[in-house]
């Protein structure tokens, strides 16, 4: 049977040597040469309306038998005739019904629910090369409190954990290649239009800060030098052509910016103030100031 499903990172293709019923948990295939190490996901009858995602939990090479869990990822267990394509590709298997993918991780070894490994050997002079690209167009009219998210991560913690990161990014270099610029996160917004009420290139919010966090640990932004190098600055403001820098460095919506020094009498007038906490060793210093009137 022809494979109409476009393979992505294809690992293994074979065919059923005998038909299986919708309840069968063992499937016999024509070849197990170069088959992935179980457990892995496979697609039966890939590219057709009868495609079924299964999880291969064991491979018996002598009899070319696969022990399978049926109807994975929201698909339906079906009877498949002999010569049905068996396409074993982790990426394809998870993408075929990604909206219904449910993964439960167990055991004492750290593993990932979904892992994508990409080696980029492209040689080009323009364009973008990346491990994952999401092209999302928001075209439907949404009203009330409806939102549009290009990518969303909902994370709920119910067990004890030392570090919990909603999103973690890691970058390193090997072999000291020539790189013009390294940036952990790059956000570029363009063509916003005139119908937007407000624009925040980076929006940090907290709904319920904890009272048990240390004063030095309850922050919107933390800067920490984890290595031996010394950055030249914590925050660098660069004007475009020396003309288009932001009008104000900090704008306060309210009475004060940060904690107010005890000696400052705000009174009924708005008096912009600031208080910066500096920690040197075990000694704390504060830089305070009041804007000139």
Domains and CATH numbers, the chain: 12-100 (2.40.10), 255-293 (no CATH)
Q: Which residue has the tokens 């994508």?
A: 116
Residues 6+ apart with CB under 8 A from 48: 1, 4
In this prediction, residues 248-263 reach a mean pLDDT of 46
* Spatial CA neighbour of 30 closest among 55, 48, 12: 12
pLDDT at 120 > cutoff 50: yes
DSSP 8-state class, residue 268: T
Q: What is the pLDDT of residues 138-159, one digit of tens each?
A: 999 999 999 999 999 999 999 9
Q: Judge whether residue 93 has pLDDT over 60.
A: no
Mean pLDDT of the chain: 78
- Look at the block and give the residue holding tokens 């005739």: 81
The predicted-structure confidence for 56-71, as pLDDT tens digits, reads as follows 989 999 999 999 999 9
Q: Mean pLDDT lowest for which of 10-14, 59-63, 131-135, 256-260?
A: 256-260
pLDDT at 22 over 90: yes
Q: Is the dihedral of CA 12, 16, 21, 27 positive or negative?
A: negative
The three-state (H, E, C) secondary structure of 61-74, written as one string: CCCCEEEEEEEECC
What would the pLDDT profile of 99-119 be if each residue is shown by its tens digit? 555 678 888 888 887 777 888
Burial class (CB in 10 A: 0-12, 13-18, 19+), 257: middle
| pLDDT band at residue 291 using 50, 70 and 90 as cut-offs | low
pLDDT greater than 80 at residue 162: yes
Give bridge partners of residue 12 from the DSSP assignment.
88
The pTM for the full model equals: 0.56
């Amino acid at each position: 049977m022809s494979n109409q499903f476009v393979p992505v990172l294809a690992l293994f293709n074979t065919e059923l040597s005998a038909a299986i019923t919708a309840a069968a948990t063992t499937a016999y295939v024509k070849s197990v040469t170069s088959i992935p190490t179980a457990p892995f996901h496979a697609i039966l009858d890939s590219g057709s309306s009868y495609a079924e995602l299964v999880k291969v939990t064991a491979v018996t090479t002598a009899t070319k038998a696969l022990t399978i869990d049926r109807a994975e990822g929201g698909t339906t267990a079906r009877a498949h005739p002999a010569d049905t394509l068996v396409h074993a590709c982790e990426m394809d298997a998870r993408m075929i019904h990604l909206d219904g993918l449910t993964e439960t991780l167990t055991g004492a070894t750290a593993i990932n629910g979904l892992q994508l490994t990409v080696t980029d050997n492209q040689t080009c002079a323009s364009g973008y090369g990346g491990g994952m690209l999401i092209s999302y167009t928001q075209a439907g009219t949404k009203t009330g409190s409806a939102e549009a998210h290009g990518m969303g991560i909902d994370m709920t913690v119910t067990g004890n954990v030392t570090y919990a990161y909603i999103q973690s990014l890691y970058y390193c270099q090997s072999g000291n290649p020539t790189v013009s610029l390294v940036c952990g996160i790059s956000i570029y917004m363009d063509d916003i239009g005139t119908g937007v009420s407000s624009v925040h290139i980076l929006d940090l919010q907290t709904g319920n800060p904890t009272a048990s966090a240390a004063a030095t640990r309850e922050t919107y932004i933390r800067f920490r030098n984890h290595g031996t190098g010394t950055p030249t600055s914590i925050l660098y403001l660069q004007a475009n052509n020396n003309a288009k820098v932001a009008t104000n460095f900090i704008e306060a919506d309210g009475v004060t910016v940060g904690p107010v020094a005890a000696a400052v009498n705000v009174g009924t007038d708005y008096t912009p103030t600031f208080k910066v906490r500096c920690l040197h060793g075990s000694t704390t210093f504060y830089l305070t100031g009041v804007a000139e009137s």
